[in-house]
Structure 1
Amino acid sequence: NEGFWRTPLGDVEVDGETANKIVREARIVDVDDSAHRYEHSIEVQLPFLQYLFGSAFKIVPICFLMQDLHSSREVGQAVAKVLAGKNALIIASSDMTHYEPQKIAEKKDLMALKAVEAMDEERFYMIVEENRITVCGYGPIIALITAAKALGAREAKLLCYKTSGDVTGDHSAVVGYAAVQFTK
C-alpha cells in the first residue's frame, strides 16, 4: 500500500493514502505484498499507462483472491466511495475463456460481455458460473462494474474482442481478450 512498482520504463508510485482508505473501507481488503508476487495482471498494464502519462500518475494495485459476488461488490463499493470526486481511472485486467475452441470461446465470452455492457454484475457472475467460463479476473470485473455505476457511469461499450487464435491462426484452443470502456 506504499512504495513503488518498478518497470522497464521507470518507477510508478503507489498512492498510499488512497490505498489505506480503501483498506479501511472494505473489510475484505488486506495489505499483502505477496499477493502480487505471482500475479502479472497489474504489471502488464503499467507500461501502457507510463507510455501515455509518463510518471505523472499514482496507482492503487488491488489483487483478488476471493472473487465471489458479495466480496467483489464490497471492493467495488469501497473503491467508489474513496474515489468519489477524484480524477481517477479504474482498470480491471483479466483474460476471458482459456483453451477452448474459437467458436465456443467466442460464444461464452460474448455472452458474458453482454452482461458487462449492460453493467449487470450479478448477471455477469451468473453467466460465468453457469457456463463455467474460465475468466481469471471475474472478481475485478464485478468490482469495476460496481464502482463504475456508483461513480455515475451510464454506458459500457465493448471496444474490441479477439482471441489468441486471431493472432496465431490456431483456433483449436484459444484464450479470449476484450476491452470494455465505461463512460459517464
Structure 2
Amino acid sequence: MRYPAVAGAFYPADRARLAALLDQLMPAPATEMAAMGVLVPHAGYVYSGACAGAVWNAVAVPERVLLIGPNHTGRGAALAAAEESHWATPLGQLAVDRDLLEALAARLDLLRFDSRAHSAEHCLEVQLPFIQRRRPDVRIAPLVLGVTAAPTLRAIGRALAEVIESCPEPRPLIAVSTDMTHYESAEVAREKDRAALDCLEALDGEALARVVRQRGISMCGAAGAVVALEALRIVGARSGKTLGYTHSGEVTGDDSEVVAYAGMVFC
C-alpha cells in the first residue's frame, strides 16, 4: 500500500471535508468530453484545485488512467512505475493497473518498479481524489520521471502509444501532472507560459522542449508533457484545448513572484 504523503497539507486529510471540497471544485453536472489526455496542475488545492477540478470535471474518466509526472524528490529510478498494488487517499483505496505498467516495462528497459520514487512525491497523489470522486472504480498506472534527454522522451512516448493502442476501448486516459512557470512575476509567467501552451495545443513535443529550454520556462513536468504529446499524436489526438490558467498570486494577492497553473484536455 502506498499511503498519502501530502494529505493534510495539499488537501484535507479528513474524508468528509475532502469530499465536500471536491464537490465545490467539480460542481455538478459534470460534462463527459471524450478526451485522450489531460494536463493538470499539482499544487495545494487552495492554489490550483479549481484549475485541476475544471479539467477532471470536463472529461469522461475511463476505468484506466495512466498518470505521468516529474520526480521532484530525485529518489529512485529515472523512470519509475508504482510498485504497490494499491494507493490510498482519505477517500479510500485505488488499485494500481499492474498489467498496464508491465506492458510498458516490456517495451522500455529504462522503466523500473520503484516505490522510493513515489513514496514522498506529491504530483500524482494530488490528482487521485479528483479521479476517485469522478470514477471510484478507477485503476491507476502511476509513472514519475527524472530523465530529460529528448530521444529518450520520444522513445517513452512511442512505447506508451503502443501500449495504449493495444488496449480495448475505452482506452486509458493519459494524465500529465505539471505546474507552469515558477517564481517569476505574473506578467512574465503569463508571457512564457503562453509560448508553452501554444506548443501543447499543437501537440508539438519537440517545439515544447525547445521553447522551454530557450525561454527558460520552469515547467516542472515538461519532460512528462513531451512524452505524453508524442504518445497522444500517435494514438490520434488532434489538438489540445486550454480550459484554465491561473497563478498563486490570485490567492496571495502578490503578483511579484508566482507559480502558474494550467489545465488542458487533448482530443
Shorter-chain TM band: over 0.9
Flag structure 1 segments of 5+ consecutive residues without an equivalent.
none
Q: Is the 8 A contact 2:200 2:229 kept in 1?
A: yes
| Equivalent position to 1:36, from 106, 110, 118 | 118
| Equivalent position to 2:240, from 153, 156, 178 | 156
Secondary structure at the aligned position of 2:200 is classed as helix
Alignment of 1:70-109 (within 5 A): 70-84=151-165, 85-86=167-168, 87-109=171-193
- What is aligned with 2:148? 67
What is the root-mean-square deviation in Å for CA atoms of aligned residues?
A: 1.1
Secondary structure at the aligned position of 2:122 is classed as coil
Which residue identity lines up with residue 124 of structure 1 in the other structure?
L
Deviates more, 1:142-151 or 1:72-81: 72-81
Any idea what the Cα deviations from partners look like across 1:108-157, whole Å, max 9, x if unmatched? 11111101111110000001011111111111101111111111101211
Which one has more relative contact order, counting CA pairs under 8 Å at least 6 apart?
2
Give the TM-score normalised by the residue count of structure 1. 0.95
Distance 1:2 1:150, change over 3 A: farther
Residue 13 (1) aligns with residue 56 (2): no
Rounded to whole Å, the distance in 2 between the matches of 1:42 and 1:71 is 21
**Post-superposition, which runs of at least 4 consecutive aligned residues in structure 1 deviate over 3 A?**
none
Q: Is the 8 A contact 1:28 1:71 kept in 2?
A: no
Rounded to whole Å, the distance in 2 between the matches of 1:6 and 1:13 is 9
Which residue identity lines up with residue 158 of structure 1 in the other structure?
T
Flag structure 2 segments of 5+ consecutive residues without an equivalent.
1-82
Q: Is the 8 A contact 1:28 1:74 kept in 2?
A: no
Residue 134 (1) aligns with residue 215 (2): no
Give the TM-score normalised by the residue count of structure 2. 0.66
Query: Paired residues, what number?
Result: 182
Distance 1:31 1:40, change over 3 A: same
